[in-house]
Structure 1
Amino acid sequence: MNLRDFMLGVTTGLAAAVIIKEASERIQPYMNPNQILENIKDEFRKESPIEGSWIYMKPENFTNGITTIPVYRGGISRVIDGETENFEFAADARSGVIVELKKA
């Protein structure tokens, strides 16, 4: 095997890796919902302990009057001063940013 054949193999492998990465992002353009939930729980934990949490694994469309984006819906409960507080949220499925937070 000479250097030319080796370099051709390396170049082909790199090109294939780039194509596979691009194709996988098009197939699954959304963040993992469990990771989004963990990030949200981390933010809530800064104020108080989490009692429970949930997230729907299937994204749905959210309209704020101007645009429509795919979101994951979920909820978190925590206890503050002996009282349980429940929150429902909608998080952008692509970035994980909370676009809606309501106290339930």
Structure 2
Amino acid sequence: MNWKSFFLGAAVGIIGGYAAKEVIACKTYVSPEKILEQVKKQFNQNGPISGSWIHMEAEPYEKQQINYRVYKGGISKNNNGTTEQFEFIADAQTGTLIDVRTLSGIS
């Protein structure tokens, strides 16, 4: 076996593996279940949650001329006999909340 061939093959393998890792890391998203769990923890600090949901597919979203891939979801809370509903938008790559909106208060 020629040592030059061995080292050349090893170097190509290492570089290829590193490149593949970087490409995969750029395309991976936080699971929607994990994001919903994090959001529920945040909302739970201000009282119990009566319901929650999250759309399982990441979709494009633009805020202040910045493009994101996001998950959209919602939380329902009971507050003194009134049901409050909130919609949230979370970054699919980091899980960071981008926006929270109050939808309604139902008696």
Aligning the two structures, in what range does the TM-score lie when normalised by the shorter sequence? Answer: 0.7 to 0.9
| Cα offset, 1:24, TM superposition | 4.9
Aligned residue pairs, count: 90
The residue that corresponds to 2:82 in the other structure is 83
Match of 2:61 in 1: 62
Q: Distance in 1 between matches of 2:34 and 2:24?
A: 18
* Per-residue deviation, 1:100: 1.1
Structure with more strand by fraction: 2
Report 1:1-104 matches (<5 A).
22=21, 24-26=24-26, 29-104=28-103
Q: Which runs of 5+ in 2 are unaligned?
A: 1-13
Query: Structure 2 CA distance, aligned partners of 1:35 and 1:65?
Result: 26
Over residues 48-73 of structure 1, what are the superposed CA-to-partner deviations in whole Å (9 max), with x where a residue is unaligned? 10100000010011101311100000
Q: Scaled by the length of structure 1, what TM-score is found? A: 0.75
Percent pairwise identity: 36
Amino acid at match of 2:47: S
